[in-house]
Structure 1
Amino acid sequence: MADRGLRRVVAASAAAGCTLAGAVAVTVAVLAGPGPGPTGYVSEAGVTDSRYAAAYRIGVFALAAALLLLAVALPTALRVPGVLLAAGSVFTLLSGVVTCSAGCPLPPFETPTVADLVHGGASIAATASVVFAMLALVRSPAAAPAVRRTAAVGAALALPLSAVIGLTMLTVGRGGLVAVLERLLLTVTVGWGLATAIALGRARGS
């Protein structure tokens, strides 16, 4: 049991490190790369013809690893959020492997390629998995109080942002509003992942 607890502490610490590293790499790629600026999708940093595209993909892979490590760091009783986080890791990895075409077009106002649909679908599924994991943690009495509180704050911020993004993309399409909302949602999920990793490490350590 002690060895299992130690493994979870190590996994939580590694998840925090991967979250920070992934967020920094993606941020650098988005800000420094020759992307479309504040009106474009974050994913566009991974398809531009520059050295920052590699940094973007490395960042996405680090975030995928962070989600898997978070799933490992959760207690055995938290199987549902653990499965959701593992699924989110797979979808995040897929979104990094399958890149979208220039502009990352999405329906209904643009004509996407198969790769665009796969990339966009994987990105949406990854975010949905993380948000559902937050909700599962909120409802689970087996989760530590700090983990539940963090999940409650994350879900309270992520749910309305996700709804507004979906509605805006269906009614307005690409634009500055979607870009800002997407960045806010990604910031919330990354912040939740980091805070949860820290909370899990402290809970197991104590």
Structure 2
Amino acid sequence: MAEGTARRIAAAFAAVCLAAGAAAVTVAVIAGPGPGPIAYVSEAGIADSGYAGAYRVGIFSMAASLLLLAGALPPGSRAAAGLLGAGAVATVVSGAVTCSEGCPLPPFEATTVADLVHGGASIAATAAVVLAMLVLLFSPAADRGLRRIAAIGAALALPVAAVVALALLLVGRSTLLGMSERVLLVVVAVWGLTTSGYLAVRSLTGDGPSVPGREESKVSRR
């Protein structure tokens, strides 16, 4: 009971942190000085932006939400929890290391070490969360509802992630890349909010993810 309560609380706080973080980053991106859809989301956090503080607070809040969500996952989901933990660390690095103006990335733009660190950490964080969706989709520790949420998230995220990867390699800075990045981040955020909310509500009602042996014990009591 105590463990279930802790997981429910972690899930609830994960949802709160993610919602607050997403709101702060959205405000920084929309109100910041970036050149519209062609800009990367990270440009809201450069030193010259008046909303860099809000952007970093949002990013660190999202990192906290990933750690909390990792702790809220059902027992036996160690691989998914580990991926979310790695994503949280990469998110912290992404928020701590600021890219230069325009957040340039290879192979079409000259970059600095900070640009490479920031860009690599941002890509790693997003990739870790998408992989966590796939792991949960095939995890026997996850119940049907959790797997369904992961399936929808992965089905939406994977094609957009492929577009982002191809745009980075073949097109470079463009409206296609900027909009694809935004769509992918929205999908990841919605998946995190939905998963956190689901875990909090399921734990609250006592109808949590199944544990191996629980169903058998119910049948034997009947």
Structure 1 length normalisation: TM-score?
0.98
Q: Deviations over 1:36-94 (max 9, x none)?
A: 21110000000052431100000000000000000000122110000000000000011
Q: Deviations over 1:4-40 (max 9, x none)?
A: 1111000000000001000000000000111221110
**Corresponding residue of 2:143:** 144
Counterparts of 1:34 and 1:167, CA distance in 2? 27
**Corresponding residue of 1:44:** 43
1:102 is displaced (CA, Å) by: 0.5
Q: Which has more radius of gyration?
A: 2
Counterparts of 2:82 and 2:170, CA distance in 1? 33
Amino acid at match of 1:116: D
Equivalent residue runs for 1:51-200 within 5 Å: 51-200=50-199
1:114 is displaced (CA, Å) by: 0.2
- Say whether 1:21 aligns with 2:5: no
**Contact 1:144 1:203 (8 Å CA) reproduced:** no
Count of paired positions? 205
Q: Deviations over 1:148-180 (max 9, x none)?
A: 111100000111111111111111110101011
Counterparts of 1:201 and 1:9, CA distance in 2? 5
Amino acid at match of 2:75: T
Report SS of the residue matched to 1:57.
helix
Amino acid at match of 1:150: I
**Corresponding residue of 1:3:** 2
1:106 is displaced (CA, Å) by: 0.2
1:144 is displaced (CA, Å) by: 2.1
Counterparts of 1:202 and 1:74, CA distance in 2? 13
Which 4+ residue blocks in structure 1 deviate beyond 4 angstroms? none
**Contact 2:75 2:141 (8 Å CA) reproduced:** no
Q: Which runs of 5+ in 1 are unaligned?
A: none
Amino acid at match of 1:37: G
**Contact 1:35 1:48 (8 Å CA) reproduced:** no
Give the superposed CA RMSD: 0.8
Amino acid at match of 1:106: L
1:203 is displaced (CA, Å) by: 1.8
1:117 is displaced (CA, Å) by: 0.3
Distance 1:48 1:33, change over 3 A: farther
Counterparts of 2:91 and 2:36, CA distance in 1? 23
Counterparts of 1:142 and 1:18, CA distance in 2? 25
**Contact 1:39 1:175 (8 Å CA) reproduced:** yes
**Contact 1:94 1:122 (8 Å CA) reproduced:** yes
Counterparts of 2:41 and 2:49, CA distance in 1? 15
Counterparts of 2:143 and 2:196, CA distance in 1? 12
Identity %: 60
